[in-house]
């Protein structure tokens, strides 16, 4: 255990210094032209793009605005999405791999132009992006990736050992003129622009299901009737439409932040081997620069031991490579990964042309969210979009690698489902320590228990309300996480992240 380096509570740097507008709860039935479900960067950007359309547009958020993935990202604005382009060529061919690059480059340019046009103060900086490695296998990966860049006509890319990092690397692939910014300052500016043109925002209003008649049923019983429904809720809350829970997996990753030294690295960085290390800096509201170090990803709910160890591993890396002695912030994020690494954006199924979805950005949501919002806005306005076919969720061409991923992912889900029902419970309730949670045996019954630092106990039925997998306790975040499809709940059982929309069943604690 590394003492006195990490803060005791999880808090995103991006959310720590922002004042968020308050929006009402949806408490009546509504009839609109466009209902956007989810007020993250995708939904907000779509609302911004539709602000002058003359259509009645509403945005409905199940929690608080920008409290989801957008508030916990590393916010790299780049078309360099890891070593992905050789893989895209193998899966889709050169033409569609080039389209993916162009979609994300146009999205990057859109973000930069919007910041300039609106005068948004969000600490946007043009920087070079680096993929780097310290292994011989990684060097080979970078060489093949550069070959893919050359095939696709990606300019401004070079192999170099000069990264600006304070440690030596075997090789890196640099892509010039990428970007970084403060995602929430940017998103809040778009909210204001959309609101000024009549777009209505609602929060603490969770959607439950969608009916074929273009009717959104809310958890509290209200209904929204819309000509177009844009599902931008990260994991689709109506994931049974198109069986999205079988076509993606969720992954958590971790970030720590600290004041940067004067000789801070000037680019944005990620390595190609495991464990991953993502690095960038940002200008703080106090004018000082902060260093962000991320990585240590794993499938949600599938981690042996205390998840705090992931933060500690990043802290040890920062101490070794950047001489960091103390961190001011720590937080984690959740990303969704599709079978072929390209997001699903467009009509959810062939039979639901007026219900669109945007999901599966992996760790590259800044540009993909802008590309997705543009695809959906063009669909609403009946305009062609040259990237729509590539991103279409109904794309049917699957290579053997995708089929293998599909089979493996769903086999792992089945394994977790069985494991949770048969695993022996070793922890007795009376042995649960302060500030800890676990599945314990209480009066011969299996329950999920959390004991806060004052000794107050919270009990839940540890079964995910999505499809019935047993949840596990995430120590670092004090949450119950589902290892099957990534639903997450507070220690009291309230939904943090879907696809679940119902809370865990609470159990009364009697001393």
| Cα 32 to Cα 488: distance, rounded to the nearest angstrom | 30
Return the pLDDT at 425. Answer: 62
* Residue 139, domain member (yes or no): no
Q: Is residue 264 a contact partner of residue 163, using CB atoms and an 8 Å limit? A: no
Residue 397 has pLDDT above 70, yes or no: no
Residue 410 has pLDDT above 60, yes or no: no
| Residue predicted with more confidence, 441 or 117 | 117
Residue 144 phi/psi, 5-degree rounding, is -70, -35
Reported as a single tens digit per residue, the pLDDT across 250-281 is 999 999 999 888 778 999 999 999 999 999 99
Return the pLDDT at 2. Answer: 44
* Residue 267, domain member (yes or no): no
Last residue of one domain, picked from the residues 404, 420, 447: 404
Last residue of one domain, picked from the residues 369, 404, 439: 404
Tally of domains in the chain: 2
pLDDT confidence tier of residue 423, bands split at 50, 70 and 90: low
Give the pLDDT mean for 194-223.
Answer: 94
CATH of the domain at 476: 2.102.10.10
Reported as a single tens digit per residue, the pLDDT across 53-77 is 999 999 999 999 898 889 899 999 9
Q: Is 161 exposed, middle or buried (0-12, 13-18, 19+ CB in 10 A)?
A: exposed
CATH of the domain at 383: 3.50.50.60
Angle CA 165–184–368, to nearest 5: 75
Reported as a single tens digit per residue, the pLDDT across 369-378 is 999 999 999 9
Residue 387 has pLDDT above 70, yes or no: yes
Both 221 and 353 in one domain: the answer is yes
pLDDT confidence tier of residue 477, bands split at 50, 70 and 90: confident
Both 240 and 348 in one domain: the answer is yes
Both 434 and 503 in one domain: the answer is yes
| Residue predicted with more confidence, 407 or 143 | 143
Both 205 and 353 in one domain: the answer is yes
H/E stretch holding 218 reads strand 215-218
Both 198 and 234 in one domain: the answer is yes
* Residue 355, domain member (yes or no): yes
Return the pLDDT at 427. Answer: 67
Both 69 and 195 in one domain: the answer is yes
Return the pLDDT at 1. Answer: 42
- Sequential DSSP letters for 38-76: --SHHHHHHHHHTTTSSS-EEEE-SSSTT-SGGGGS--E
Reported as a single tens digit per residue, the pLDDT across 454-467 is 888 899 999 999 88
Both 445 and 376 in one domain: the answer is no
* Residue 416, domain member (yes or no): no
Q: Which are the contacts of 315, defined by CB distance < 8 A and separation ≥ 6?
A: 2, 5, 6, 256, 324, 327
| Cα 73 to Cα 56: distance, rounded to the nearest angstrom | 30
Q: Is 196 exposed, middle or buried (0-12, 13-18, 19+ CB in 10 A)?
A: exposed
Both 391 and 440 in one domain: the answer is no
Return the pLDDT at 409. Answer: 46
Give the pLDDT mean for 455-480.
Answer: 91
* Residue 466, domain member (yes or no): yes
- Quote the pTM value: 0.90
Work out the number of other CB atoms within 10 angstroms of the CB of residue 144: 15
Tokens of 434: 């302060």
Both 495 and 359 in one domain: the answer is no
* Residue 449, domain member (yes or no): yes
Residue 21 phi/psi, 5-degree rounding, is -65, 150
Residue 383 has pLDDT above 90, yes or no: yes
* Residue 492, domain member (yes or no): yes
Give the pLDDT mean for 151-162.
Answer: 97
* Residue 320, domain member (yes or no): no
Both 353 and 462 in one domain: the answer is no
Both 435 and 400 in one domain: the answer is no
Chain mean pLDDT for the chain: 90
Both 495 and 450 in one domain: the answer is yes
| Residue predicted with more confidence, 406 or 323 | 323
Question: Which domain covers residue 239, as residue numbers?
Answer: 13-73+184-246+341-404
pLDDT confidence tier of residue 417, bands split at 50, 70 and 90: very low
């Amino acid at each position: 255990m590394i003492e006195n380096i990490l803060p005791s509570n999880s808090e995103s740097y991006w959310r720590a210094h922002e004042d968020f507008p308050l929006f009402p709860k949806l408490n009546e039935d509504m009839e609109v032209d466009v209902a956007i479900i989810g007020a993250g960067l995708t939904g907000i950007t779509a609302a911004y793009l539709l602000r002058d359309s003359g259509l009645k547009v509403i945005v409905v958020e199940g929690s608080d605005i920008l409290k989801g993935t957008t508030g916990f990202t590393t916010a790299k604005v780049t078309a360099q999405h890891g070593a992905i382009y050789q893989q895209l060529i193998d899966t889709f061919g050169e033409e569609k791999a080039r389209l993916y690059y162009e979609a994300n480059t146009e999205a990057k340019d859109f973000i930069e132009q919007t910041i300039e046009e609106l005068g948004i103060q969000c600490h946007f900086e043009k920087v070079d992006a680096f993929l780097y490695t310290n292994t011989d296998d990684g060097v080979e990966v970078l060489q093949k990736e550069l070959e893919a860049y050359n095939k696709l006509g990606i300019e401004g890319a070079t192999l170099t050992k000069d990264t600006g990092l304070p440690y030596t690397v075997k090789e890196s692939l640099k892509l010039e003129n990428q970007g970084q910014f403060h995602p929430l300052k940017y998103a809040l500016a778009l909210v204001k622009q959309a609101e000024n043109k009549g777009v209505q925002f609602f929060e603490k209003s969770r959607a439950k299901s969608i009916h074929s008649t273009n009717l959104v049923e809310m958890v509290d019983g209200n209904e929204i009737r819309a000509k177009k429904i844009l599902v931008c809720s990260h994991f689709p809350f109506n994931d049974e439409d198109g069986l999205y829970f079988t076509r993606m997996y969720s992954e958590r990753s971790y970030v720590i932040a600290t004041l940067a030294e004067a000789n801070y690295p000037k680019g944005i960085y990620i390595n190609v081997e495991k464990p991953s290390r993502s690095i960038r800096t940002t200008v703080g509201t106090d004018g000082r620069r902060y260093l962000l170090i991320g990585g240590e990803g794993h499938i949600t709910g599938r981690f042996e031991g205390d998840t705090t160890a992931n933060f500690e591993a990043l802290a040890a890396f920062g101490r070794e490579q950047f001489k960091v002695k103390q961190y001011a912030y720590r937080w984690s994020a959740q990303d969704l990964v599709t079978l072929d690494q390209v997001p699903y954006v467009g009509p959810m199924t062939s039979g639901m042309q007026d219900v669109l979805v945007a999901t599966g950005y992996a760790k590259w949501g800044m540009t993909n969210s802008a590309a997705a919002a543009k695809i959906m806005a063009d669909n609403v306005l009946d305009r062609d979009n040259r990237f729509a076919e590539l991103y279409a969720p109904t794309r049917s061409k699957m290579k053997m690698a995708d089929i293998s991923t599909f089979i493996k992912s769903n086999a792992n889900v089945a394994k977790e489902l069985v494991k949770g029902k048969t695993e022996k419970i070793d922890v007795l309730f009376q042995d649960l320590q302060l500030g800890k949670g676990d599945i314990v045996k209480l009066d011969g019954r299996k329950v999920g228990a959390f004991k806060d630092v004052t000794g107050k106990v919270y009990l839940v039925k540890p079964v995910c309300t999505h499809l019935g997998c047993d949840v596990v306790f995430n120590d670092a975040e004090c949450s119950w996480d589902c290892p099957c499809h990534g639903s997450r709940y507070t220690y009291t059982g309230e939904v943090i992240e879907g696809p679940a929309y119902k809370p865990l069943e609470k159990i009364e604690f009697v001393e």
